[in-house]
Amino acid sequence: MRKRYSLAYNLAIFILAQIVWLALLGLWIYWYVSNYLIFEKVGEKVSPQIVIDTPNVFPFVGGIVLLVGLSFSMVLIFRHLNVQIRLTRLYDNFIANITHELKSPLSSLQLYLETLNSRNVPPEKQKEFLEQMIKDTTRLQKLISTILEISALESRKNKAQFEVYDCCEIISLLLNESVEQFRLKTDAIDFNCENEANISIDVNAFKMVIDNLIDNSIKYSTGDLKISVSVKTFLNKVEIQFTDNGIGIIPKEQKNIFQKFYRIYDSDIPNVKGTGLGLYWVKEIIRNHKGKISVKSEGKGKGTTFIIELPTAKKTKNKK
C-alpha cells in the first residue's frame, strides 16, 4: 500500500533533520575546538613530525558527515514542501470547482422559485420548472453524497457489505442498470466475459465504480459513445477492462488521474464539470476490495482503458 504523508509526518521529518544537523554541527565544533586547544598547549612539546604522522581525521570526517546530513535534510525538506504545495494547489482547484458545482444548481433553483413566486406561470411551464428543479436538487444531493461517502471511506466509518457473486452475472446486471441510469443507447456498451469466476464485492460500492467510469467516458467523449467491457479470469484474479473511444489521456497525465482533487483539462472539452474526486473514489473502493486499478491510453484521440484487478473468491450461496 502506498505510504501516505501527513502534515505531522512531514513536520516530524523536518524537526528530526534539523536536530541531526545541529547535533553534527555541535559535535564537529566541539572536537575541532578541543583538539585546537590541546595542540596549542602541548604544541611546543610535540614533534612536528609526530603531529603530521598521527593526524586527527575526525574534523574532516565530521565535516563530510555534516554535509551529507545537511544535503539529505534539504532534499527531504524540499520534497515534502513540494508535495504540500501541490496538494494545496489541488485543494484550491477543488474548492473552486465545488463552489461552482454548488452555486450553479442553487442559482437555477432560486431563479425558478422567484419566477413562480412573482408571475402567473402557465401549468405546462410550472411542470417544466418543477422537473428542472428536481434535476438540480438531485445534482446537489449526488455531489454532497459523494463528498460524504469519500470522507466515510477514508475514515473507515462505512463497513462494506461483501458478498460473493458470479463475476459475469453481477457486472452484466450493473452495466444494464447504468445504461438505463445514463440513458445510453442499447448498443453503447459491449460486454464480453470469457470465463466464469466468483468475486467478493460490496455491490453498492462496486456500482459506484462502474457509474464513475461510465460517467467519465461520457464526459470525455466527443462523438457517439462506445464502451467495451471485458472480463478475463486468471489463476487467482479477475481482470476487468473498461475501454472507451474518448479523447484519451496523454502519458504524463496518466500517473496523476487517481490522485485526490486532480482533474484533467483538455481544450477540446473545456467545460467538463467535476470535482476531481471521482477516480480517487474509484481507486479507494477498489483498494478496499483488495484489488488495484490502472489506466492505459496511447494518447490524445486514442481512447482510454481502465484495468481493474480483483481477487477471486470461493463459491458460496448468495444472500439476497
CATH code of the domain containing 150: 1.10.287.130
Q: What is the pLDDT of residue 318?
A: 47
- Domain assignment present for residue 320? The answer is no
Which range of residues forms the domain containing residue 32?
7-89
Same domain, 28 and 98: no
CA separation for the pair 64, 71 (Å, rounded) = 11
Tens digits of residue pLDDT in 20-75: 767 776 776 677 667 666 666 665 555 554 444 445 556 656 666 766 777 677 77
Same domain, 65 and 97: no
Closest C-alpha among 288, 5, 257 to residue 149: 288
Please count the structural domains in the chain. 3
Residue 145 in this model has a pLDDT that exceeds 90: no
Q: What is the pLDDT of residue 302?
A: 87
Opening angle at CA 25, ends 24 and 31, nearest 5: 85
Residue 319 in this model has a pLDDT that exceeds 50: no
Q: What is the pLDDT of residue 261?
A: 75
Q: 224: Cβ–Cβ under 8 A, 6 or more apart, which residues?
A: 185, 188
Tell me the CATH number at 212. Answer: 3.30.565.10
Strands, sheet with 227-233, edge to edge from the N-terminal-most edge strand = 189-193, 227-233, 237-244, 304-311, 292-296
Tell me the whole-structure pTM to 2 decimals. Answer: 0.62
- Listed residues 46, 72, 89: the one ending a domain: 89
Please state the rounded mean pLDDT for residues 232-251: 91
Distances (CA, A) of 223 to 45, 151, 180, 218, 227: 93, 35, 20, 10, 12
- Domain assignment present for residue 231? The answer is yes
Tens digits of residue pLDDT in 7-20: 566 567 667 766 77
Q: What is the pLDDT of residue 54?
A: 47
Q: What percent of the chain has pLDDT over 70?
A: 70
**265, amino acid identity:** Y
- Domain assignment present for residue 319? The answer is no
Q: With bands split at pLDDT 50, 70 and 90, how would you rate the model's confidence at 219? A: confident
- Listed residues 154, 185, 201: the one ending a domain: 154
Same domain, 113 and 224: no
Q: What is the pLDDT of residue 1?
A: 39
- Domain assignment present for residue 316? The answer is no
Q: Is 297 left (phi over 0), alpha (psi -120 to 50) or beta?
A: beta
- Listed residues 89, 115, 130: the one ending a domain: 89
**134, amino acid identity:** I
Tens digits of residue pLDDT in 290-300: 999 999 998 88
- Domain assignment present for residue 197? The answer is yes
CA separation for the pair 228, 190 (Å, rounded) = 5
Per the structure block, which three cell numbers stand in for 41?
Answer: 598547549
- Domain assignment present for residue 187? The answer is yes
- Domain assignment present for residue 2? The answer is no
Decide which of 300 and 304 is more confident. Answer: 304
* Among 3-7, 123-127, 282-286, the range of highest mean pLDDT: 282-286
Same domain, 182 and 281: yes
Same domain, 259 and 176: yes
Same domain, 257 and 200: yes
Same domain, 113 and 242: no
Q: List the single range of 107-111, 185-189, 306-310 with lowest mean pLDDT.
A: 107-111
Q: 195: Cβ–Cβ under 8 A, 6 or more apart, which residues?
A: 231, 232, 233
Please state the rounded mean pLDDT for residues 225-244: 93
Residues 252 and 189 sit within 8 Å (Cβ to Cβ): no
**258, amino acid identity:** F
CA separation for the pair 36, 310 (Å, rounded) = 67
Please state the rounded mean pLDDT for residues 126-138: 86
Q: What is the pLDDT of residue 160?
A: 75
Same domain, 100 and 234: no
Tens digits of residue pLDDT in 179-209: 998 889 888 999 999 888 999 999 988 998 9
Same domain, 131 and 19: no
Same domain, 116 and 13: no
Q: What is the pLDDT of residue 158?
A: 66
Q: Is 259 left (phi over 0), alpha (psi -120 to 50) or beta?
A: beta
Q: What is the pLDDT of residue 116?
A: 85
Tens digits of residue pLDDT in 253-269: 888 888 877 777 666 66
CA 220 vs. chain centroid, Å, equals 19
Per the structure block, which three cell numbers stand in for 310?
Answer: 480483483
Same domain, 224 and 105: no
Q: What is the pLDDT of residue 108?
A: 84
Same domain, 291 and 223: yes
Q: With bands split at pLDDT 50, 70 and 90, how would you rate the model's confidence at 80? A: confident
Q: List the single range of 164-173, 178-187, 220-229, 310-319 with lowest mean pLDDT.
A: 310-319
Q: With bands split at pLDDT 50, 70 and 90, how would you rate the model's confidence at 2? A: very low
- Domain assignment present for residue 235? The answer is yes
